[in-house]
Amino acid sequence: MTQDSALLQAPETDLRDGSNNRKVFIKTYGCQMNVYDSTRMSDALARDGYEPTENMEEADLVLLNTCHIREKAAEKVYSALGRLRDMKKERNREGREFMIGVAGCVAQAEGEEILRRVPAVDVVIGPQTYHRLPEALRKAKEGQRIVDTEYALEDKFEHLPIAESKKIRSRGVTSFLTVQEGCDKFCTFCVVPYTRGSEVSRPVSQIVEEAQKLVEGGVREITLLGQNVNAWHGVGANGQEWTLGDLLYRLAEIPGLARLRYTTSHPRDMDDRLIEAHRDLRALMPYLHLPVQAGSDRILKAMNRRHTAAEYLMLVERIRTARPDIALSGDFIVGFPGETDQDFEDTLRLVEEVRYAQAFSFKYSTRPGTPGAELKDQVPEEIKAKRLERLQALLLKQQQEFAGSCVGKTIELLLEKPGRMPGQLIGRSPWLQSVNVDAKELQIGDIINVRITGTGTNSLFAEIAEAEV
């Protein structure tokens, strides 16, 4: 969730006037929601004649879709903008168009400050106003410098176009689909409520329509996204209030949609209906990202998580009772202000009890504007580093043990992309592991039975199996 990525998409010609299209390069920082947002912005810009490119040097427009969740995020963006400013000067000397836009959570947090520090920037636009990006760029071409970070009253998803099937097909057989945005939890370490706003759920009909179009375009696996995805709620076709579990039951009815996933969840929103969906739906993969952050009740209270370690463990037990083969991943923060050696040992004990298949772990770092930044008793960096090393060693051991337990199993594998070796394809296991298999006669998008034969550093190896799963 922290890996930077450039959005690579197939070109689309401008059918309006036959002119040569301008080109846009989108650099996407951070989480899957930003990847999804970049895709939707690219689709919106295509209407104005912008072709996506993977080569920044040939772009007429560069968009930085930023993330504010990690330390020094704003500084990294300003460093990138310094390089883009120099590119713009060179383009101007050549008489060529070159525009710079900043989108995402850093744009929301910094706003006018971006224009003050980097006058070369043309547009600053927040996560809730992406549908207004084409208009903002038109105004910028007329000489205005645009900052649009107000929380829009209108639903941006009603205005953002969904790509045609041929374009969806060019992007692969898996896709993200945002169903919920924002956060009302206000964990004291987190900036999301201040950059993404309060929790908002997309309507059922809108989600189902987009999912159906993705499947028509060849998508076989959809991952539902939200800052608190299991806080999603809406009115279903039966007029009843639905939660995420109900939505998953509805999406599982779409012909051709083979797999469903969702991320990221909050333990407080894991209700009975969602647990039942894990029990009942073959399409819902047995993998759940369920962040806990810490194993100490004192630290959980200071973080405003509003659950205890015991409540989290009881929830895990309920989930595993419903779906015994489920694999869990989590998020952990070490060195939160006031964390003692005993608090940290409580976290290690929780990890030992849960046994995670994957996990993300970080040293605490302050986020300006969050309550955690004002807390006293900050933990020294050297102590945080030692604790993180111990935690990551334990988590890596559990990940390796889980991978080892898969050897000999026959599983269903969705083939997603070519491997490094001739004839090799790579897919994802039900538990989200990367799996390499020699599959010369098969195609991307096939779902096949494979037997796991070995483990690598970050992947599994398999051979085609004839036996039923």
Residue ranges of the binding site for [4Fe-4S] cluster: 31, 67, 105, 183, 187, 190
Cα–Cα distances in Å, from 213 out to 131, 289, 358? 19, 26, 31
In whole angstroms, give the CA distance from residue 99 to residue 55: 15
Specify the pairing of strand 434-438 against strand 424-428. Answer: antiparallel
In whole angstroms, give the CA distance from residue 275 to residue 286: 11
Phi-psi region of 24 (alpha: psi -120 to 50; beta: other; left: phi over 0): beta
DSSP assignment letter at 152: P
Residues making up the binding site: 31, 67, 105, 183, 187, 190
- Find out whether 80 and 28 touch, Cβ atoms under 8 Å: no
Write the DSSP assignment of 11-69 as a string of letters: ----TTT-PPPEEEEEEE-SSHHHHHHHHHHHHHHHTTTEEE-S-GGG-SEEEEEE--S
In whole angstroms, give the CA distance from residue 151 to residue 172: 32
In whole angstroms, give the CA distance from residue 414 to residue 404: 20
> How many Cβ atoms sit within 10 Å of the Cβ of residue 55?
9
In whole angstroms, give the CA distance from residue 198 to residue 205: 21
Q: What share of the chain is helix, strand, coil (3-state, %, to 5)?
A: 40, 25, 40
- 157 — phi, psi (to 5°)? -70, -25
User: Dihedral angle at the C-alpha atoms of 166, 168, 4, 118, nearest 10 degrees?
Assistant: 70
- Find out whether 66 and 79 touch, Cβ atoms under 8 Å: no
Task: Tell the burial category of 56 from Cβ atoms under 10 Å away from its Cβ (0-12, 13-18, 19+).
Answer: middle
